[in-house]
Structure 1
Amino acid sequence: MKATVPLPVLVAVDGSEPSLRALDWAADEAVLRGLPLRLVYASLWERYEGTHLAADPDRPSEELVAEDIVETAARRARRRRPDVPVSTDVLAEEAEYALVRESRDAALLVTGSRGRSGLAEALLGSVSLTLAGHAHCPTVVVRGSHDNQTTTPLHRRIVVGVGGHGKQSPAVRFACEEARRRGANLDAVRAWRVPARETTDHPLMSPEAARLHEQEAVDVLDTALENVPGDIEVHRHTVEGPARSVLVAASHDADLLVVGARRRPRTFGLQLGRVAHGVLHHSACPVVVVPEPV
């Protein structure tokens, strides 16, 4: 019987400082999961940046630069985590297409939040959003000052945003697994608001409307968390306000923020809701976007 090869933690590298911090985070996560680490450079940006470093006229400069980037990154990963198997790939393709495809065979995809130059920074911001919206596995965008705290978390707190569908979601399950791996508490957050139409002019006076909507948020949390294993310490939070703002505020003393993104099969374009999009731009800690079927 052929042994099953474990899916790797896949990390996008481009030589920038943010991508190297993402590499460190990914190497630590690979240790926690007992998985191999795969480093991928996927880009056609060198031709646009005007880099001409090829010593061999038969090889394009991009290939030389890419090989140097992944070799340097692999050495860094092996120094940090000598016990993690490391493999590398250079793909001469646009990053968003290549990495979304490669995510089919990954347990987790990790990327930094920006790139090497002004042009690359804009492109990488776009790529990170594309990956979060289309990757086939959970995607981590490493943000904030918590980059090297995977195995020794500062706050021992995983935050998960709970949606309104009233059942345990892939995002909640992912957050539970991460909390267990890290020995962290799980903070489940459900934001709520009173709709504008339910003002003091409405037959339901505002205080009563607020009470009803807050209770609805409590019920949603209870349903979403009813199957959480008993060995995980869970804290429930219902907070009035826009979900994006509530979760960004929670990220300031968290080691990881987990949100779900509803996937619509065969739909073109960015598949991120306003909440996921907002926290990816403003979170103070790494963000995990977990695909959730519609």
Structure 2
Amino acid sequence: MTLPMVVGVDGSEAGLRAADWAADEAALHGLPLRIVHASLWERYEGPVFTQSESAEVPPEHALAQDIVGHAAERARQRHTDAEITVDIVPEDAEAALLREAHHAAAVVTGCRGRGPITGALLGSVSRSLATHARCPVIVVRGSPQNRQGANGSITVGVGDATTSTAAIRFAFREAEARRCTLEAVHAWRRPAPKSLKHPLLAGDPAPRHEDQAATLLEDALRDPEHEHPDVLVHRVTAEGPVHHVLLTHSATADLLVLGAPRRHGPLALPLGRVAHAALQHADCPVAVVPQREAPPEQPQ
């Protein structure tokens, strides 16, 4: 069974941009596109905006049909042979899209908030999906150039094995499908200066930490690079806070890929500072890829 690329639409411009991006992504990977509208979305994100403010607002069902129909028509114009299904569900967007995530290759949403700076704020639905979804979640944000893939580069943040393995493999598959460069970034921090009286402990420890960062990066990339030999990889070790480093690199990326830990079972970890900052401020679409913990071993 081929899992679809799922996109949530709410009638906003951000939702339509997300649908366009999802249509391109589905075509890139040969996947069906599923467009979902949750009729109670406005409970979380505010009122739905119609295409014409002067037009009389149609009944709720007709409005929902118009929202998914318009998104589907745009997708067909971009990819005439696309396999597209639409669905309208009478529930809130968070519950609907989390359920869709159980049977999706990925879930795509727009980045939308309240007030006059909606392009900069992260909507509550997107935040919840990035925290809890069982599949990759892509929040479509950033400049038009970066959303349209004009840079020819994907950036993946590389941390430790508990958060990065699935994200790295996702990033390699994306780079291979797009035939673009993969930039693998690991940020490291210079330790706080200490007063060291022993002469053997003197000197700048920064080179040692940078070497450790390079070794970690090399170890993390070894297997996926072997599996995807056609992907050109640029390794980057940069000193500084992780979220600052990745936000800087997002300015020249078409997609920023991050890992997020997921506990086995019903418990969920909160969205980390790095992922939250990226979803809030990155200048390109952001993919949050869940890294699932192995289930506990059963007693013999």
What's the TM-score, normalizing by structure 2?
0.85
Residue pair 1:166, 1:220 contacting (<8 A) in 2 also: no
Retained in 1: the 8 A contact 2:146–2:253? no
In the alignment, the residues of structure 2 paired with residue 123 and residue 160 of structure 1 have an alpha-carbon distance, to the nearest angstrom, of 22
CA distance in 2, matches of 1:173, 1:270: 22
The 1:77–1:172 alpha-carbon spacing in structure 2 relative to 1, beyond 3 Å, is same
Distance 1:156 1:123, change over 3 A: closer
Count of residues in correspondence between the two structures: 278
1:97 pairs, out of 95, 118, 131, with 95
Deviates more, 1:237-246 or 1:270-279: 270-279
Does the 8 Å CA contact 1:147/1:286 hold for their aligned counterparts? no
Please name the residue that 2:174 is paired with. Answer: 178
1:58 — aligned with what? none
- Work out whether residues 54 and 64 of structure 1, in 8 Å CA contact, stay in contact via their aligned partners in 2: no
Matched, 1:163 2:159: yes
Aligned mate of 2:16, from 14, 20, 25: 20
- Of 142, 145, 155, which aligns to 2:140? 142
CA-based RMSD: 2.7
- Which residue does the alignment assign to 1:255? 254
Mean Cα displacement is larger for which, 77-86 or 158-167? Answer: 158-167
CA contact (8 A) 2:164 2:259 kept: no
Aligned partner of 1:183: which letter?
R
**SS of alignment partner, residue 226 of structure 1:** helix
Contact 2:157 2:164 in 1 (8 A): no
* Structure 1 segment 258-273 matched on structure 2, within 5 A: 258-268=257-267, 271-273=270-272
| Counterpart residue identity of residue 81, structure 2 | D
Question: The residue matched to 2:71 in structure 1 has which SS?
Answer: helix
Is 2:208 the partner of 1:212? yes
Q: Quick one: which of 52, 75, 78 aligns to 2:76?
A: 78
Q: CA deviation at 1:167?
A: 9.6
What TM-score do the two structures reach when normalised by structure 1? 0.86
Where does structure 1 differ by over 6 angstroms across 4 or more consecutive aligned residues? none
* Deviation of 1:62 (Å): 2.9
Question: Counterpart of 1:222 in 2: which secondary structure?
Answer: helix
Partner of 1:230: 229
Q: Give me the whole-angstrom Cα distance separating, in 2, the residues matched to 1:38 and 1:147.
A: 25
The alignment status of 1:189 with 2:185, answered yes or no, reads: yes
Match for 1:284: what amino acid? Answer: D
Gaps of 5+ in 1: 56-60
1:132 corresponding residue in structure 2: 130
Correspondence for 2:195: 201
Q: What amino acid sits opposite 2:62 in the alignment?
A: L
**Following the alignment from structure 1 to structure 2, what is the Cα–Cα distance between the partners of residues 50 and 141?**
19
Asked if the contact 2:141/2:147 (under 8 Å) is kept, the reply is no
Counterpart code for 1:234: V
Alignment of 1:43-62 (within 5 A): 43-46=39-42, 49=47, 61-62=59-60
Output the amino acid matched with 2:133: A
Deviation digits for residues 53-77 of structure 1 (CA, Å, limit 9, x no counterpart): 776xxxxx43232121111111111
Unpaired stretches in structure 2, ≥5 consecutive residues: 50-55, 294-300
Q: Is contact 1:168-1:225 (8 Å) kept?
A: no
Deviation (angstroms), 1:236: 0.5
Once the two structures are TM-superposed, the CA of residue 118 in structure 1 deviates from its matched residue by 4.1
Cα distance in 2 for partners of 1:171, 1:12 equals: 22
Sequence identity (%): 51
SS at match of 2:217: helix
Contact 1:256 1:286 survives alignment (8 Å): yes
Moved more, 122-131 or 16-25: 122-131
Match of 1:65 in 2: 63
Distance 1:221 1:14, change over 3 A: same
